[in-house]
């Protein structure tokens, strides 16, 4: 091996290492910062690191007055309801989109994308106005409806792909063996599409737990979710409490990503939006 080749190889490795370093910094830098703040008792400019370490803020967050436990409960409750509502729509809609030869199939799939496509703020302002008039503002149901409008696109698209991935002859075989349409759906279609449906439920759950803007317009001040608590804390300059809340929000995200990775198979993902 000549020196020139060796030098080139080393320079390539160096470039790759630098690139990976930047990537790692972009991903883990902010999270590391969260950890620093979560355990900082005192941290004033121009110090590079906190002057005092401790966990007294954790106690404050979890104390009844801190409201973290209550808003975590609200967040999870809203997320669960959003999942139930989204699946209740996504299962029949996804099945119909996957199985029936609908003329406007593409348009229907696109319609579910609309809430994501238009700018959120004007929509939420209007929704808030409408909900105020019909008494849904500041209610859990109102927040659930807003979250579901967002979650549905994921739920319907993934459910439709999950149902399409179930070979139609498997359903025919069940009917042929004496199963009524409903029994066939319950014993064959649903179990086989199950992993995809669970994955879509998880995405909807995560989306709901994380959602801020809609909740802000529709829920405040009566409904306080974890992201709203974090927002209030960081607006008040209380970075410790904001960081601890953010870390709490990370827990379901990471846990569910691990589960999704197990459930969502490549063949289902490949069919999303088809």
Partner 1 sequence: MPYLAIEDLCVSYGGTRVLDHVSIGVERGEMVALLGSSGCGKTTLLRSIAGFVLPQEGTIRVDGRDITHLPPEKRETAMMFQSYALWPHMSVAGNIGYGLRMRGWKAAAIARRVDEMLTLLQLEGFAARPVTQLSGGQRQRVALGRALAIDPHLLLLDEPMSNLDYKVRIELRHELRALQKRIGITAVYVTHDREEALTLADRIAVMDAGRIAQLGAPEDVFHRPHSAFVAGFMGADNALDLMRGSGADLAPAVAGTPQAARLRAHFRSNEAHLAHEVNDVAHDALVLPGTVVQSFYVGHGYRYRVSTGTADVWVEAPEHLAEGTATKVVVPRAALLLFPSDDSRTRIS
Which spans of this chain sit near partner 1 (rule: CB under 8 A)?
167, 169-170, 172-180, 183, 187-188, 191-192
Question: Which residue, 129 or 186, is less far from partner 1 as judged by CB?
Answer: 186
Question: Which residue, 167 or 222, is less far from partner 1 as judged by CB?
Answer: 167
User: CB-based contacts of 184: which residues, under 8 Å, 6+ apart?
Assistant: 171, 174, 175
Nearest approach, Cβ of residue 176 and partner 1 (Å)? 5
Instruction: Tell me the Cα Rg of the chain.
Output: 24
Question: Which residue, 49 or 104, is less far from partner 1 as judged by CB?
Answer: 104
* Other beta carbons within 10 Å of 231: 18
Nearest approach, Cβ of residue 101 and partner 1 (Å)? 10
Task: Quickly tell me which residue has 């001040």 as its tokens.
Answer: 221
Nearest approach, Cβ of residue 173 and partner 1 (Å)? 4
Nearest approach, Cβ of residue 56 and partner 1 (Å)? 52
Question: Which residue, 24 or 173, is less far from partner 1 as judged by CB?
Answer: 173
Question: Which residue, 178 or 237, is less far from partner 1 as judged by CB?
Answer: 178
Residue 123 main-chain phi, psi, to 5 deg: -65, -45
Nearest approach, Cβ of residue 262 and partner 1 (Å)? 16
CB 11 within 8 A of CB 21: no
Element (H, E) at 152: helix 140-164
Report the C-alpha gap between 226 and 140 in whole angstroms: 14
Nearest approach, Cβ of residue 271 and partner 1 (Å)? 17
**CA 112 → CA 21, 77, 117, 215, 228, distances in Å?**
39, 24, 10, 20, 26
Question: Which residue, 78 or 193, is less far from partner 1 as judged by CB?
Answer: 193
Report the C-alpha gap between 7 and 3 in whole angstroms: 6
């Amino acid at each position: 091996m000549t020196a020139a080749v060796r030098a080139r190889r080393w320079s390539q490795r160096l470039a790759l290492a630098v690139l990976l370093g930047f990537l790692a910094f972009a991903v883990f830098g902010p999270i590391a910062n969260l950890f620093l703040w979560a355990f900082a008792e005192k941290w004033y400019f121009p110090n590079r690191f906190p002057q005092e370490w401790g966990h007294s803020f954790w106690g404050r967050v979890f104390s009844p007055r801190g409201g973290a436990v209550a808003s975590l409960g609200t967040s999870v409750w809203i997320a669960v309801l959003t999942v139930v509502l989204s699946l209740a729509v996504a299962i029949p809609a996804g099945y119909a989109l996957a199985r029936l030869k609908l003329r406007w199939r593409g348009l229907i799939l696109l319609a579910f994308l609309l809430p994501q496509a238009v700018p959120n703020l004007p929509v939420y302002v209007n929704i808030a106005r409408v909900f105020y008039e019909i008494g849904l503002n500041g209610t859990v149901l109102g927040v659930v409806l807003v979250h579901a409008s967002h979650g549905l696109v994921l739920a319907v698209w993934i459910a439709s792909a999950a149902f399409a991935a179930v070979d139609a002859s498997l359903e025919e075989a069940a009917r042929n063996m004496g199963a009524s349409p409903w029994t066939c759906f319950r014993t064959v279609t649903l179990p086989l599409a199950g992993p995809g449906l669970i994955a879509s439920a998880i995405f909807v759950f995560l989306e709901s737990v994380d959602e801020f803007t809609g909740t802000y317009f529709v829920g405040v001040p009566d409904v306080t979710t974890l992201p709203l608590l974090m927002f209030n804390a960081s607006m008040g300059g209380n970075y410790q409490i904001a960081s601890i809340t953010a870390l709490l929000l990370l827990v379901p995200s990471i846990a569910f990503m691990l589960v999704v990775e197990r459930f969502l198979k490549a063949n289902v993902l490949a069919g999303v939006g088809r």
